[in-house]
Structure 1
Amino acid sequence: MAIVGMAGSFPGAQNIGELWRLLVNKRQGLARGRESAEGCWWIPNARQDSEREFFSGVVADAYRFEADFFNYSDREAEWTDPQQRLLLQCAFAALESAGVVASATKPTPAGVFVGGEFPAYIANVRPYVESMGDYLQALIGNDKDFLATRVAHRLNLTGPAITVQTACSTSLVAVHQARQSLLLDECDIALAGGVSLQFPQEFGNVYEEGLIYSRDGTTRPFDADAAGTNITSAVGLLVLKRLEDAIADGDSVLAVLAGSAVNNDGADKVGFTAPSAGGQELVIRRALHSAGVRPEDIDFIEAHGTATPLGDAVEVAALRQVFGKVEGKRIALGSIKGNVGHCNRAAGAVGLIKAVLAMHNEVLPSTANHDRPSAQLGLEQGVLYVPTEPTPLPAAARTHRAGVSSFGFGGTNAHVIVEQFPKPPRRPRMDQVQLVTLSADRRDQIDTMAQQLAEYLAEHPETDLADVAYTRNLWRVRRQHVLPFVAKDCEELVQQLQQDSVFELHDEGRGEAGGVAFLFPGHGRRELAVGARLYSRYSVYRRHVDEGLSELDPETSGYCGPG
């Protein structure tokens, strides 16, 4: 399966590009605060230490929602769990990143496989429930049962819409389910991942001795000072297609999902919430078999890596059983939880996004908050090691691969294998002026889009301006405000994006962009072959001109041709 699009929002990173910068710079995206359970109605009597500093993982602008764009009334939006709204917006962005424009008038054969967090927001709605109609509205707007179907309904997606709930492994299990659905031809595109929005977001996990939570909110995977994890907020979604379809459609393939597996520990552990080395070992072996690869074919493991003493020890033991006999190489081990905390239901998708970025950019990021390996894990020797600095993938004749793990309370385990996809050869650049448009419902959103595009182009100077124009003009929904830019290359476009555009168009309508019409009135100066440049450069223009000329005298049918 091809991974052709991704979107997400994470602590300290509002999009995929910002997440990658967070990873390669070995930064933590959490915000400093104080321990607090204020507003958390489910633990009103928890013992708190208001003087204890704590890092919390917050998604910026998580409560902001474009109700009009998604055809929500104000009341419906207010009564809907913010994590359901956040998931819907992320789903739209993920599809857009894959070149899929969701349309209210044209259904898309896409499946939705997602899961979410406990809907604590319903406590805010409950005091206003005065009738059975109110109760039904509160239920539909907050119950996790409606996560997938809400996305499918609002974006007109007609494949299977299934909400997956397996605790911490939810979103990676959702990816496995999406892959299975594509293999069975139940859909042509699959949207998979999860959302986990703590409510209120600023809630700091109240520390209690003996539980999984870190005292200061810092997660230190596989580190000598590891002492627990931190539950944070995030949303992460990936768009999958069958690889042959993606290649045929000319999609940008970020990586290949080569195999996946899901299982449960059963009773092979000390308790319901405890991990099982046997269960984890078996799911990894099954994923390798699903992908048709051997342990020595793996370069990197994005682990569950919660930084709890029991969790890390069990996970490393399972990995050693699978990879311990590999010779002639070492396998990197990491966990994104050091950067963004434990994103709970979204954790598996967030880890997979990191692995995809690593394969696509050919760099293995280091793990934040890891300084020296725990002596109890035995990582100083053997095949597994934790990189302390970003490491370029070595040039090799074979394909690089990564394994991604996610394990849930209750024992449902998931593991997937991700392969590097060869980047297509660069086409010759079209050395000509391009029109690039940005469109949004508010001007400040356009300013943000301009900043993000400028940052991307500055970091990727090899980008073809014609590709940027094609994507922005044809594969983005046209919204109320449109800001056009005209540039001859990416460098000039970046300069313009960092300034205010002279022109701004206002379109009160909303929907797919219309077609382009050429009008030749026959007035003004007459020049020979006035359309020759268009004819030679644009195949669509050339085809239509040829069709029109074919209806005329055959002697004129080659008028605009190169000769």
Structure 2
Amino acid sequence: MNDYIDQLDGLTRKQLMVLLARRHQESTQGIAVSGMGCRFPGGIDTPDALWEAVRGARAVRAAGSQPPTDSSGRPRWDTTAPDLAPLAPTLAAGAYLDDVDLFDADRFDLTPEEAEHLDPQQRLLLEVTLQALADANLTLRALRRRRVGVYVGISTAEYNFAGLRNGIGKDDLSPYMGTGTALSAASGRIALALGVRGPALTLDTACSSALTAVHLAAGALRAEECDIAVVGVSHLLLSPFTSEVFAQAGMVSPTGRCLPFTAEADGYVRAEGCGVLVLERYRDAAADGRQPYAVVRGSAVHQDGDREQLAAWSAASQRTVIDLALRRTGAAAHDVRYVEAQANGSRVGGVVEAETLAAAYDRRGAAAPELYVGSAKANLGYLETASGVAGMMKTALALAHREIPPQPGADRPDPAIAWERTGLRLATAPRPWPTTARTLAGVSATGFTGTAAHVVMEATPLPGSAPPERGGPALLLLSAHTPASLSATAERLRAHLLARGGWSRGAVCRTLAERRDHLAHRHAAVVHSDEELLAALDRAATAGPLVRALPAPPGVLLDLRRGAPQAGLGSSGARRPAPGRAPGEDAGDPTPAWLDRVRAAGAPIAGVVCAAAVAAPCLAALTRDGASAWERSEDGDTVTLRRAGAGEVPLTDPAALDEADWYGLLAAAYLAGGDVDPGALTPDDPPPLMRLPGPALLGSRYWTDVNIWR
């Protein structure tokens, strides 16, 4: 400590101020929500699908629905069994995920036995994490070069309950049962599957688990304990008895609806789901050319231990945690115009929370600026442990779209809430975000244990207009771990593009080439138009992979005796100097720099015929990828450098190859299992990255007989 004080004492006043300002900036810097993945009730499995549901004020569960089914169409619980029949009405009143028995174990190199004994909550986390990383345009290769933190919220371990009921015996046991259902293993399993290094922890603060995990992850990112944080929460309702316990406690809505802040609020609908967020420092995302959904500006976690009982609601605790989060944000309370509320679904809880929000956000009085409140629980049901991640995803999407989505039941607000005496409002229709100094929103969550969490998020600057499509061909690269997955991935991508509009083939192809992991089963195509790209995806969907692993193509033998081509890759009939001269190269023969670019792109080069004066730098350029077996022959002033074993390859003038020819060479190398980078050929003014759906994961049934409720 004394040495540190002496170091500070040696600084000038200005140096000390700069040091303190930098440390303050680092400790309060924005944390980007760069990617999101989800599996929510109602078939919602993408951020776009979630936004469509909340913007349309759609409740995914209708009263009178039935228990969930597995992949064979069989109900999760046989409610005709004597001990389960009395629970049937309660079990029919939930919002569930179907087909949770399916899992793509091959994608994670898990054996069938291990997959069978793996808690489906952890299966969901693995699969949804891949979707979230793809949404963030982060590859596993990129992650493994950085420190990655994994923060998982998970509360229940009900997968083995049926086995206990069914009288599980010694022969039914497996060594994978321990690791498969241990809650502590959830975060480590993700880190292992991704092959990443960094902090990994599993936490449980009940319904505030997601926001608590975000708070811890944001602190770790600011402290540079990690560079990327994967925050995931998973919650499944596997035991039928737990729902009856909640119903007897008076928490579950007898009418099967969740309508917080309305006159019809009478409890909540139990729901299940999984959500994963990818967080990173905002400056890192911006430097990488990726547009986040929103930025976490401040967060806090707090609990008051002087409550009457464990599950008692504490308005004081919620007020405190909001005050702390706002203070860390450094924003005025009036700049916050939307709050995603805890909203437990009861009328009393709604009144108390409304009063708390009005006080914490300074909205008391009829003249106070509007503060819209809402909750995704009205759309999805109460996801309990995973409820916070659903609310945070909804709020991030609202900030990204600069729009406050409507709240189901908003046309029937609870008359017990003092709407006319506060600035609190329910949106009855989609509303443009109110104009304020800053575009901010808050998200609340409170667990029954008393731990409250609050996160304040801000919208990011809107992206500028994309550069016009430069025309010419583009190289479409697609891969998956199985042929069936490749076909499904192609169809998923094609459907996404047809529904979306406003995309360019350059952006699609660049994103797939640079921001996806390239696996064993591959498809490649050179496309000259958007229609050709869609047709190529259709062929991949129906025909599957072109190859699994072919021998590497021999490549081309390039005639460079006239030097590097001054006109190379063309587009729309116009030639452009590419691969071209290296940046800053003003004089001399550009041949080595040109070959460096071709090599970096991954084009297969069998060899070159060049002038003797440039033979040495040409050989250096050709061998920078680690290859060393090159044969040299001379004929006067001409030198031929040929890869050993290339055989007889026709001599080609590179100026005769247009852009499609070069991309064709890259496609051949890609299909042979090579690493290619089409952007290296035309590095100037690349098209922007865009969000595209992640890989399709096609599961097989993994569910032990002893875990069937019958």
Distance of aligned partners of 1:415 and 1:539 in 2 relative to their CA distance in 1, 3 Å threshold: farther
**563, 573, 593: which one aligns with 1:547:** 593
The answer on 1:311 being equivalent to 2:343 is no
- How far has the Cα of 1:4 moved from its partner? 1.0
Q: Secondary structure at the match of 1:406?
A: strand
**38, 44, 60: which one aligns with 1:29:** 60
**329, 346, 364: which one aligns with 2:404:** 364
C-alpha contact (below 8 Å) 1:94/1:238 kept by paired residues: yes
- How far has the Cα of 1:179 moved from its partner? 0.3
Q: Could you tell which deviates more after superposition, 249-258 or 120-129?
A: 120-129
- How far has the Cα of 1:405 moved from its partner? 0.5
Q: Could you tell which deviates more after superposition, 537-546 or 97-106?
A: 537-546
**202, 205, 209: which one aligns with 1:166:** 205
Distance of aligned partners of 1:57 and 1:502 in 2 relative to their CA distance in 1, 3 Å threshold: closer
Look up the equivalent residue of 1:340 and give its one-letter code: L
- How far has the Cα of 1:210 moved from its partner? 5.3
Q: Could you tell which deviates more after superposition, 152-161 or 122-131?
A: 122-131
State the Cα RMSD in Å. 3.9
**125, 133, 152: which one aligns with 1:114:** 152
- How far has the Cα of 1:348 moved from its partner? 0.6
In our comparison, the structure showing a higher alpha carbon Rg is: 2
Q: Secondary structure at the match of 2:105?
A: coil
Distance of aligned partners of 1:333 and 1:129 in 2 relative to their CA distance in 1, 3 Å threshold: same
Alignment of 1:412-491 (within 5 A): 412-428=451-467, 429-442=469-482, 445-446=485-486, 448-458=488-498, 460-484=500-524, 486-490=526-530
Counterpart for residue 16 of structure 1: 47
- How far has the Cα of 1:3 moved from its partner? 1.2
Distance of aligned partners of 1:26 and 1:437 in 2 relative to their CA distance in 1, 3 Å threshold: farther
C-alpha distance in structure 2 between counterparts of 1:105 and 1:236, whole Å = 20
Q: Could you tell which deviates more after superposition, 352-361 or 532-541?
A: 532-541
The answer on 1:56 being equivalent to 2:94 is yes
Instruction: Write the deviation string for residues 247-303 of structure 1: whole angstroms up to 9, x where unpaired.
Output: 222222221111100001211x34211211100011011111111111101011111
C-alpha contact (below 8 Å) 2:198/2:226 kept by paired residues: yes
C-alpha distance in structure 2 between counterparts of 1:244 and 1:105, whole Å = 17
Distance of aligned partners of 1:293 and 1:427 in 2 relative to their CA distance in 1, 3 Å threshold: same
C-alpha contact (below 8 Å) 1:117/1:198 kept by paired residues: no
- How far has the Cα of 1:192 moved from its partner? 1.0
Count of residue pairs brought into register by the alignment: 551
Q: Could you tell which deviates more after superposition, 290-299 or 249-258?
A: 249-258
Instruction: Write the deviation string for residues 134-155 of structure 1: whole angstroms up to 9, x where unpaired.
Output: 5652121101111111111121
The answer on 1:191 being equivalent to 2:223 is no
C-alpha distance in structure 2 between counterparts of 1:453 and 1:495, whole Å = 12
Counterpart for residue 351 of structure 1: 391
Q: Share of identical aligned residues, percent?
A: 28
C-alpha contact (below 8 Å) 2:489/2:541 kept by paired residues: no
Q: Secondary structure at the match of 1:56?
A: coil
Counterpart for residue 112 of structure 2: 74
- How far has the Cα of 1:432 moved from its partner? 2.6
Q: Secondary structure at the match of 1:376?
A: coil
The answer on 1:322 being equivalent to 2:360 is yes
Alignment of 1:109-188 (within 5 A): 109-124=147-162, 130=170, 134=173, 136-188=175-227
- How far has the Cα of 1:207 moved from its partner? 7.2
- How far has the Cα of 1:403 moved from its partner? 0.3
Q: Secondary structure at the match of 1:59?
A: coil
Look up the equivalent residue of 2:593 and give its one-letter code: E
Distance of aligned partners of 1:501 and 1:196 in 2 relative to their CA distance in 1, 3 Å threshold: closer
Look up the equivalent residue of 2:408 and give its one-letter code: A
- How far has the Cα of 1:30 moved from its partner? 2.4
Q: Secondary structure at the match of 2:65?
A: strand
C-alpha distance in structure 1 between counterparts of 2:527 and 2:227, whole Å = 36
The answer on 1:65 being equivalent to 2:103 is yes
Distance of aligned partners of 1:405 and 1:261 in 2 relative to their CA distance in 1, 3 Å threshold: same
C-alpha distance in structure 2 between counterparts of 1:174 and 1:105, whole Å = 20
C-alpha contact (below 8 Å) 1:55/1:204 kept by paired residues: no
C-alpha distance in structure 2 between counterparts of 1:451 and 1:357, whole Å = 25
- How far has the Cα of 1:116 moved from its partner? 1.3
Q: Secondary structure at the match of 1:247?
A: helix
Q: Secondary structure at the match of 1:176?
A: helix
The answer on 1:331 being equivalent to 2:374 is no
TM-score, normalized by length of structure 1? Answer: 0.86
C-alpha contact (below 8 Å) 1:192/1:238 kept by paired residues: yes
Distance of aligned partners of 1:292 and 1:527 in 2 relative to their CA distance in 1, 3 Å threshold: closer
Q: Could you tell which deviates more after superposition, 254-263 or 48-57?
A: 48-57
The answer on 1:382 being equivalent to 2:422 is yes
C-alpha distance in structure 1 between counterparts of 2:399 and 2:354, whole Å = 22
Please list every run of 5 or more consecutive structure 2 residues that lacks an aligned counterpart in the other structure.
Answer: 1-30, 69-74, 584-589, 597-609, 619-653, 656-680, 683-710
C-alpha distance in structure 1 between counterparts of 2:490 and 2:420, whole Å = 46
C-alpha distance in structure 1 between counterparts of 2:49 and 2:102, whole Å = 19
C-alpha contact (below 8 Å) 2:268/2:382 kept by paired residues: yes
